[in-house]
Structure 1
């Protein structure tokens, strides 16, 4: 975390053990050096990571450690940056109790140098990562505003949808269809249970262990997979791109968005054809009159 002011990182000047805030030419003359001296305050700076349940606004502090670091930028000048590591363990994060099944947003609470607040913890880039931990779904993802959130109930992101399933990762085994989920880790022995459904048929489904990774298992299936939806624990369903042929691996079928576009284009062409027929019919009718 970096201290900012007016979209610029705050600048400090260091002389031996003394650190002063740089306020700009106008304020430098109006404010005494003692007021700008933050040397003692540096030892009292603190920050912590906080997670907040999206549906209830309940906050929990996350165990971690960190400190303020001097980052030199020029001779005698530099920035003050907070660095630290915090670990979210959903099994005990609520002061020893498991976190509720909710979407948890992350914040960094900071206090020192006259500043206080809890801005969102933001991340740069990175793909969502999923896990099944002792029978519970976990998905860490980047929100639309670039903040880190953790979905423990598959309300926004799903384990299967985040799992990175590919058509070439579908294979048959003992009357099941198995789909590798390379982006999903599996911890413990308790699977996630649910169902896989297409417009014409449905079957029980589980997310189970495949070494450290996870695999989606669709049970009692003796036919090729078609596009369908996976629903686990009654939570939000995830679209699974299946295949429409018996041989695996196979190419992905046309996606619903593509099919909708094609249908729209076909409908538009049909409407133009019908409009042309109507105009010709009207012309003949006028000619007969």
Structure 2
């Protein structure tokens, strides 16, 4: 028996189907918005009831960071049983999501494809024709919010505080940490001495500051740094951001939230499920922000910060 690919849509849930049909098979969940599979915003491989591998996605919309879905699949597929299930994100008509679904198909090479009725995904040319299945409707939005809040509160309860230096980790999933940092002297020469942090990557200047610099200050900074555009982010934008700690090989060792950032020292206060001392080498940042009471505060724009 080969692997099975499950493709649903935002109007249905695989919850009851999995209860009735999964049995002892492995499950690789590539749906970041499914609270039934643990902490939202996270992709994972389940063996039995045990979550054995994870990859932070950092938000709920699969279109935000499709490369992370492909990366998680590439990392976890070798460990998926030969009869395992792969649950794709809730598909909605989109050229990008269709292309990612095609890549998943090509990597998984399922012998069976189960497609929820009304999904509207054409799979012409693939050697395995999908079988349509009828699934239960998703719960009301208010109930989904309550389910996710319960997961956030559980994650918060399990966490402990860690100090992480931005100067000692590699940051993934954000514009922050992608470029060359401007030191105090360089910021002063560029006319943005008052900002908390600045770095340039290619033709973009990232400026993190309590207040947005004036047009004149930005124009001078762009001229001095040789950049063509600036991206402004408030210093508090990273507070309460979903994140994960990972080892150099990419294995995740803890999930949690940034609580605050001291930009002068580069020290982040992070609530994480990692055991101290965590030995974190990679800091993965998401886009979703969740306050200490489990309330979702919305997501940053893609690559905003």
TM-score, scaled to structure 1: 0.21
By percentage of residues, which structure has more strand?
A: 1
RCO greater where, 1 or 2, for CA within 8 Å and sep 6 or more?
A: 2
By percentage of residues, which structure has more helix?
A: 2
Query: Rg larger in 1 or in 2?
Result: 1
